[in-house]
Structure 1
Amino acid sequence: MKTPQLQAVVLAARFVGRVHPTQHLGEACRNALNGEYAVGLTLTADAALAQRVSLCAVGALAARGESLQISLGEGPCVQALRQGAPVLAADLDDARSTEQWPVYAEQARAHGIRAVFALPVLSGSDPSEQSGLVLSLYRDRPGLLPEVDLHLAQDHADAADLLLLATPTPSDEEFAHTWLLPTDAVVHQAIGMISYRHGVTTGQALALLRAHAHTRDMDLTALAHAVVHEHLTLPDLPGPSPR
């Protein structure tokens, strides 16, 4: 693991022990930056985002940008994790910088997002040892990310990594209460219910939820709410029978 920068240590120390500490950290990041950005922070166990949670979404652009990545399973966060390096998409109209996630880029533009900068937390040279944390900045106009804002955002991303390391491993209920955004909790509840009902893995359950959201042209969170609170049953996957 790399040695943390002093600034990241100081930032993390400010929020240890708080409820929703990463949300406070995201707000601090947004206030520290020189430009106008929305800030999102995600944690994922794999580059396909089959096990992904949103730890922070500060600003409407971030909330929508993060939600789209959950719904579509693609976006700058995925690319940043796969390549182990920042993804600095200064103009979502530039097909060259968005070729790995064209659907995300199109839908992000439709919601007013014109630039996205995804900064992964890099713990070393081995991709398998990375933390899975990515801090993303969203902006409503195209343009390069100034170097000073890049460094400030990276400090806050590293601080989020330290916050996770400094927190004892919680139970699922404690994790949902302390770390996750309310909209993400219902998505994970729905995944668990679909997994049980259809006798499939959580990854397959997420794929089924995404596919159904796409065919109905629904937001993933809205569909998850219907599954959990309105007893909506999705069509069976081909193969395994429901339990």
Structure 2
Amino acid sequence: MNGHIMQPALNLETIKVACSNCNLRELCMPVGFNVDEMKRLDEVVEKRRRVKQGELLFNSGDTFTSLYAIRTGFFKTCVTSEDGREQVTGFQMAGEIIGMDGIVSDRHNCNAVALEDAEVCVMPFATVEDLSRELPALQRHVHKIMSREIVRENSVMMLLGNMRAEERLAAFLLNLLQRLHARGLSQSELVLRMTREEIGSYLGLKLETVSRAFSKFSEDGIIEVKQRYVKVLEPDALKKIFNPQTY
């Protein structure tokens, strides 16, 4: 974001990507299609686009044309307040679809920034809409993704409104682990692609508060922290902090 943003045309590849051959298809696309339906689904993906760390996938105010399935890498979405402060609104990883914020007004209302070198599959929304009319399973899947976004936003509002700092951080770590586990990764280890400051922005906490919460978890033997590497030693303790009434 510091003047290193390349123009989109330089990032576009013409290599065709087949959803049917992608190991993430069960995460970002519906399952249960027959061979012919999978061929039709492959038509949704127009091309791949590479996004370097720190570059924008799309900017607030850009015309909305496509959804993006994250193939590799990690993104953050954020908005900028009138006084220039950045508010992180979400973190997205491989297998997730990004860009739905633009559907409502035909323009994106947030920035999507790569937190590491990433690659996305570009899916023109007009094509998605056309094919959804023919394939009810795809239409249901798109509705599920939109619904999940609404649920996620409601969960964040609950985090910001009712939870103490340690509860917010516990919920954040548990959510990341659950999403990574769905991708076949470890249930107890993760590398944070975002900074402590970005975590604080997302959770509505100051940087110092986030650092103190990490230190408290580490001192209590709940997690082991080495810079951005986090290992959860006591997952039940983390769950108890997040949801004490169930214990």
More strand by share: 2
Q: Structure 1 length as normaliser, TM-score?
A: 0.30
Query: Rg bigger for which structure?
Result: 2
Higher relative contact order (CA 8 A, sep 6+): 1
